[in-house]
């Protein structure tokens, strides 16, 4: 059961942070609208949490080596961790000017990913700095791509 909860939690946190940051940055650079960013965060927190939970559920079922209880533990853990970690990004958007909220959200998300990556690397007894760097670089690539995509959308359709 521990493996199932850990799987769902780690997947949900990672997906929640990267997806929500990408969405926030892209929506900010394309619209510069607090309302649009808040709406996007809430929608992603619900729709993507259900989507990822079902994805983990089906993936675990397809391995044909987990009990029903383990599968549902992964499913529920994925949903709640994704929902919570995606939803948390709404706090800085509500409290600060949008550009500052995006920066705060990025720092928050990158920090959580670094801590999670470090802990995972230590458990696997591999170089934690390599793992942390790898995961943060991927996240920064997502942030950069969504920023420039948002800029392009704004220029093309705005």
Q: What is the average pLDDT across 108-129?
A: 97
Instruction: State whether residue 84 is helix, strand or coil.
Output: helix
Nearest by Cα to 75 from 95, 100, 99, 58? 58
- Reading the block at residue 156, the tokens are 């093309």
> Is the pLDDT confidence value at 56 over 70?
yes
Q: Is 150 exposed, middle or buried (0-12, 13-18, 19+ CB in 10 A)?
A: buried
**Which pLDDT does position 68 carry in this prediction?**
95
Dist. CA 86–CA 14, nearest whole Å:
10
Dist. CA 16–CA 78, nearest whole Å:
10
Q: Where do the domains of the chain lie?
A: 2-157
pLDDT in tens, 6-49: 999 999 999 999 999 999 999 999 999 999 999 999 999 999 99
Q: What is the average pLDDT across 73-102?
A: 97
Q: How high is the mean pLDDT of the chain?
A: 96
> Is the pLDDT confidence value at 3 over 70?
yes
**Which pLDDT does position 12 carry in this prediction?**
96
Alpha helices in the chain (DSSP H): 2-31, 34-43, 49-63, 68-87, 90-95, 98-124, 128-157
Cα 82 versus chain centre, distance:
7
**Which pLDDT does position 4 carry in this prediction?**
92
> Is the pLDDT confidence value at 158 over 90?
no
pLDDT in tens, 129-143: 999 999 999 999 999
Q: What is the average pLDDT across 88-111?
A: 98
């Amino acid at each position: 059961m521990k493996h199932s909860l850990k799987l769902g939690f780690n997947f949900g946190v990672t997906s929640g942070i990267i997806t929500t940051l990408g969405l926030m940055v892209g929506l900010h650079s394309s619209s510069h609208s607090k309302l649009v960013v808040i709406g996007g965060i809430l929608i992603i927190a619900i729709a993507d949490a259900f989507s990822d939970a079902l994805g983990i559920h089906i993936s675990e079922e397809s391995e044909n080596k987990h009990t029903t209880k383990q599968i549902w533990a992964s499913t529920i853990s994925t949903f709640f961790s994704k929902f919570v970690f995606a939803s948390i990004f709404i706090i800085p958007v509500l409290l600060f000017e949008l550009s500052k909220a995006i920066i705060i959200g990025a720092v928050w998300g990158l920090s959580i990913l670094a801590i999670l990556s470090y802990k995972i690397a230590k458990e696997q007894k591999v170089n934690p700095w390599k793992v942390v760097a790898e995961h943060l670089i991927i996240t920064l690539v997502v942030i950069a791509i969504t920023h420039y995509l948002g800029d392009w959308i704004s220029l093309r359709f705005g």
